[in-house]
Structure 1
Amino acid sequence: MSSRSEIDRYLTQLGALSPSGFAMAFHIRYTTPAFLFQTYDRRWLDLYSQKGLVMQDPIVSFGFTQTGWRRWSDLDDPAGVLAQSADFGLAYGLAVAIDEGGSRSVAGLARPDREFDDREIAELVRTVTDLHLITLQAGQLSAEAHDELKRMSVALTHPAARPT
């Protein structure tokens, strides 16, 4: 596996390109990802969870049925999940779905001010794909390295859980 600093570098890069945050589920088996990284506004994550929006989320639907990428504005959103997310600064976004190496990963990346341009999309897709491939190796990791990757996932998703 690549070093933690390499994964940190990718996550930092995604954060810089996605000022409203991201949610990435890597190596989904049935409905559970091996690793989940989320940096969206905590209020949105709480509302999303309380309302059970995952079942109506067009990013999730896209990610389970297709591969590649789509701007959020090009996704069908009959339940208005993306419209609700805009109230939390997630006004524009990108869905990325990868099915490679026998594993599927899905990402949503957001910004508050404009659509992602083509250069940004290429960089985001490349970075999410690189993270997919790095974390795909998790089955070949030592228990210690696997645990460290899980800790990174929890710390990024739940900032209050970060060790001080």
Structure 2
Amino acid sequence: MQDLTKVAAVTGLLNQLREICDSGFALAIHIRYTRPTILYRTYQQAWIDHYSERGFMLSDPVVHWGLTHVGGIKWAELSDQDEQGVLPAAIAHGLHNGWTYAVGPQTSRTIAGVTKSGADFTEAQRAEIIRIVDELHALTDGFEAFAPETQAALLALTAH
């Protein structure tokens, strides 16, 4: 796929994900050695700041689950693993109906944490999220070999 086409495809998929996840998402793509190659977040800045200031990534049960599993899980199912109160803090910041989907080998995992207002995600919405995240994971595979301009363009994308 040509570089501009790849950037356009990623942009389109991020926009689709944004439409489903109206209260935000975090998408850590191709995590290697605990660091994502690409990170997209649409959560409110207040939550991003709160999460970062408290070092929640180190204790976030959603992150831990995604690093050790593939598939999907509701955040509520991880509450017994949330000793630091990450999930109640997320809810207090307006992140409801949390669901996580992880794909890829442990050496290059992609994790999506998604939320929406209103009712919980439907099965059809979850299937669409899976399709989008799987496609993003595949499109960005081999990121290190992309032209520097393509890497910069992908890193500069925002999902807002």
| TM-score w.r.t. length of structure 1 | 0.87
Unaligned runs of 5+ in 2: none
Aligned match for 2:59, one of 56, 60, 67: 56
Aligned match for 1:75, one of 68, 78, 87: 78
Q: C-alpha displacement at 1:137, in angstroms? A: 2.9
Q: C-alpha displacement at 1:101, in angstroms? A: 9.5
- Find out whether 1:30 has 2:33 as its counterpart: yes
Q: C-alpha displacement at 1:18, in angstroms? A: 0.2
Q: Is the 8 A contact 1:15 1:22 kept in 2?
A: yes
Where 1:34 maps in the other structure, the secondary structure is strand
AA aligned opposite 1:46: D
- Find out whether 1:87 has 2:127 as its counterpart: no
The structure with higher relative contact order (CA 8 Å, sep 6+) is 2
Q: C-alpha displacement at 1:78, in angstroms? A: 3.1
Aligned counterpart, 1:162: none
Aligned counterpart, 2:7: 4
Distance 1:100 1:126 in 2: 17
Question: Where do 1:128-143 residues align within 5 Å?
Answer: 128-143=133-148
AA aligned opposite 2:51: Y
Q: C-alpha displacement at 1:100, in angstroms? A: 4.2
Q: C-alpha displacement at 1:36, in angstroms? A: 0.3
Q: C-alpha displacement at 1:102, in angstroms? A: 5.3
Question: Where do 1:107-122 residues align within 5 Å?
Answer: 107-122=112-127
Percent identity, aligned pairs only? 34
The 4+ residue runs of structure 1 with deviation greater than 3 A are none
The alignment of Structure 1 onto Structure 2 pairs a total of residues equal to 155
| TM-score w.r.t. length of structure 2 | 0.89
Where 1:92 maps in the other structure, the secondary structure is coil
AA aligned opposite 2:143: A
Distance 1:102 1:133 in 2: 14
CA deviation vs aligned residue, 1:17-61 (integer Å, no higher than 9, x gap): 001110011111112111000000100000000011111111101
Of residues 88-97 and 45-54 in structure 1, the stretch that sits farther from structure 2 once superposed is 88-97
Distance 2:116 2:140 in 1: 25
Q: Is the 8 A contact 1:101 1:136 kept in 2?
A: no
Of residues 96-105 and 128-137 in structure 1, the stretch that sits farther from structure 2 once superposed is 96-105
Unaligned runs of 5+ in 1: 160-164
Aligned match for 1:40, one of 21, 40, 43: 43
